[in-house]
Structure 1
């Protein structure tokens, strides 16, 4: 799509009459599932030890329901770990890397964080970062299967996702560590090409923060049991005892004290996911949200996807950039200010909360399109974006005059 050739037609939309029923479009924590109320948490085991029979069973329920919905392969372990998806990724990096060379694919903020960990915290000498600017994927040709690979599946802050895993060698020797927090439950993940997959409850399930999920393939378990990193290992990262996997972590025996309130919320989200058709239903809901926005972008001259290749457009963290000539002519500071006004207007009007771009990303909008967001709310939001942009454009025109 040759966006640069679009005419710069400033929209003259009137103030919309209807607002989204749920204006929550944050990319994390994300909107609760449709119909959610506090009553969903009434069965939480509050004031109980997480080691007691019933609370421990609830923790195990999160694990088993998650495995079933996602279709984790036989032999994979899944555990609840501290510190959200970040904690899960850090556990994998600190516990598994260093046994062989490692490549890090980086094309947005979080993948760049993992590159920083590898280079500046773990200080691995045989490490390469293969990066790309916002809106693009790195060069995936020539990925070496003898090396470990660290990557995100979906760029939460860029709206750029992998189209497939064909670039990962089938007979690889290294491990593939995949941060999939904004992809799990919304995209098909090729587990035969992955060894560690991480996510959190507060993305596609609409759960609350603080807990991460860590899935390990048999190959990852073999690495844990055969390799001891040379650096000190904090308690919350330790997954082995006496050289063997601590199986309790993957049966609901958490490393630290979990919030049973958040656990109850996760169970509620998983039960809802089952009610809408499991993984296929969740993916369909997310893709429907992307399709509505794609149709609007195609007919709206001042906006485009941040993802340059349509095949890489995320259906969860949908990132948009402003391409109006008057906007692109501004310096970086002025662009950021104009984009902030746009998202600020949406919030002031109660049309969209938390829809601004991520702080390190190019100025624009980021609209969460995960399965807990109703397509009808996306449809109701778009006229408000047109209206808000018209106000920002008019203000710029007035100042410029």
Structure 2
């Protein structure tokens, strides 16, 4: 007989646990955006100043080396990654690493769209990493630092040699502002600010090392590049992109929101403060998993667990005895029940990932809200399990 867990008395003050766009910073309100230069050209002095401020604050908070360029580019992280792939690849072989859906998407772009015949793919199932010792750094290497849809991240940058021949192109969209990126080991870093800092969507950030700039200025791809991807003109880097002169028209409201989030991050102590908050949030969920009896991390190795996109699987034997479709339906029911109660929004697993839950635990989430959520997770599980015929 299934024992029902009592409905908790305490609710999360903020039920926004979506993995992107993720929750806004604590204390955020629309009044935070009052200084946005709305109705003005982004090419006017106020617009350029705001874009430059966003770039400078990004450098400060993320501790980006002074000789790396930072640019705001269109189309979110996807646009930033695509710009890098289409502009830089083809000069040498490339190793593509994939262990979840976004990494797999970059493999598709390189193999099926760019049709590079010198591409090598290293994959792993959800919950695991590929064998990083097998990466050939005489090639370019493309990988995600943090697998947003699997909750699996690389533990550090020690597997990347300092004397690599190829470029490392890193999709860091759910790792930036929560994990320590080793910029000395990274030649291209991309992210979208609607992820960890809870900014509004549609803008990407592209960070280039001197080695990446050298490639851009000395290599011309065999394929045509649309205007939105072009980073050079007459064989030279378009430096304006990295001073706030964006390729297309940005939303100054979104830029203001990003600046607000960066200033909040700076007040916390920058990257270390953000990382500490995310780590504390992960610990809440890890401690709960230890005693839950029905849930576990999708990440097999604790050293690779994400502290932002925490992906969980249901491990209760009665649920595992169901066929795959019914297991998936049960996980969806958990998420729907919590949504209906107004205690957790948008925490179902990503559509391409194994069934389960995905809970955002980045720095904009309060530890008290995650502590409150854990009781509701147990309540939803016992409630939904009691509805199953075998639970009687």
Q: For this structure pair, what is the TM-score category when the shorter chain's length is used for normalisation?
A: over 0.9
Secondary structure of the residue that 1:346 maps to in structure 2? helix
CA contact (8 A) 1:28 1:202 kept: yes
Instruction: Name the CA shift for 1:368/1:10 in 2 (closer, same or farther; >3 Å).
Output: farther
How far 1:399 sits from its partner (Å)? Answer: 6.1
Residue in 1 that maps onto 2:356: 364
For the pair 1:324 / 2:310, whether they are aligned, the reply is no
For the pair 1:186 / 2:175, whether they are aligned, the reply is no
- What is the rounded CA distance, in whole Å, between the counterparts of 2:26 and 2:49 in structure 1? 26
- What is the rounded CA distance, in whole Å, between the counterparts of 1:64 and 1:315 in structure 2? 26
How far 1:157 sits from its partner (Å)? Answer: 0.3
CA contact (8 A) 1:143 1:169 kept: no
For structure 2, the residue ranges without an aligned partner over 5 or more in a row are none
CA contact (8 A) 2:4 2:386 kept: no
Per-residue CA deviation, residues 237-288 of structure 1 (Å, 9 max, x unaligned), is 0000000000000000000000001001000000000111111000000000
Instruction: Name the CA shift for 1:298/1:104 in 2 (closer, same or farther; >3 Å).
Output: same
Residue in 2 that maps onto 1:6: none
Residue in 2 that maps onto 1:283: 275
Residue in 1 that maps onto 2:306: 314
Where does structure 1 differ by over 4 angstroms across 4 or more consecutive aligned residues? Answer: none
Which of 331, 337, 342 aligns to 2:329? It is 337
CA contact (8 A) 2:168 2:187 kept: yes
CA contact (8 A) 2:5 2:383 kept: no
Secondary structure of the residue that 1:289 maps to in structure 2? helix
How far 1:170 sits from its partner (Å)? Answer: 2.1
Instruction: Name the CA shift for 1:386/1:74 in 2 (closer, same or farther; >3 Å).
Output: same
Residue in 2 that maps onto 1:171: 163
- What is the rounded CA distance, in whole Å, between the counterparts of 1:202 and 1:10 in structure 2? 40
Residue in 2 that maps onto 1:23: 15
**TM-score, normalization: structure 2?**
0.98
- What is the rounded CA distance, in whole Å, between the counterparts of 1:210 and 1:265 in structure 2? 13
CA contact (8 A) 1:208 1:262 kept: yes
- What is the rounded CA distance, in whole Å, between the counterparts of 2:288 and 2:132 in structure 1? 31
- What is the rounded CA distance, in whole Å, between the counterparts of 1:123 and 1:15 in structure 2? 54
Please give the residue correspondences for 1:82-121 in structure 2 after superposition, counting only pairs within 5 Å.
82-121=74-113
How far 1:13 sits from its partner (Å)? Answer: 1.8
Per-residue CA deviation, residues 156-210 of structure 1 (Å, 9 max, x unaligned), is 0000001112222221010000000000010001111110000111111110000
Which of 341, 344, 368 aligns to 1:376? It is 368
- What is the rounded CA distance, in whole Å, between the counterparts of 1:181 and 1:43 in structure 2? 27
Which of 240, 262, 265 aligns to 1:270? It is 262
Per-residue CA deviation, residues 82-103 of structure 1 (Å, 9 max, x unaligned), is 0001100000000000000000
For the pair 1:294 / 2:250, whether they are aligned, the reply is no
Which of 135, 154, 157 aligns to 1:162? It is 154
- What is the rounded CA distance, in whole Å, between the counterparts of 2:262 and 2:170 in structure 1? 22
For the pair 1:303 / 2:295, whether they are aligned, the reply is yes
- What is the rounded CA distance, in whole Å, between the counterparts of 1:19 and 1:74 in structure 2? 44
Residue in 1 that maps onto 2:135: 143
CA contact (8 A) 1:201 1:212 kept: yes
CA contact (8 A) 1:20 1:351 kept: yes
Residue in 1 that maps onto 2:379: 387
What value does the CA root-mean-square deviation take over the aligned residues?
A: 1.1
Residue in 1 that maps onto 2:195: 203
Residue in 1 that maps onto 2:239: 247
For structure 1, the residue ranges without an aligned partner over 5 or more in a row are 1-8
Please give the residue correspondences for 1:34-113 in structure 2 after superposition, counting only pairs within 5 Å.
34-113=26-105
Secondary structure of the residue that 2:40 maps to in structure 1? coil
- What is the rounded CA distance, in whole Å, between the counterparts of 1:53 and 1:74 in structure 2? 24
CA contact (8 A) 1:88 1:199 kept: yes
Per-residue CA deviation, residues 296-326 of structure 1 (Å, 9 max, x unaligned), is 0011111000000000000000000000111
Secondary structure of the residue that 1:141 maps to in structure 2? helix
- What is the rounded CA distance, in whole Å, between the counterparts of 2:201 and 2:275 in structure 1? 22
- What is the rounded CA distance, in whole Å, between the counterparts of 1:77 and 1:292 in structure 2? 37
**TM-score, normalization: structure 1?**
0.96
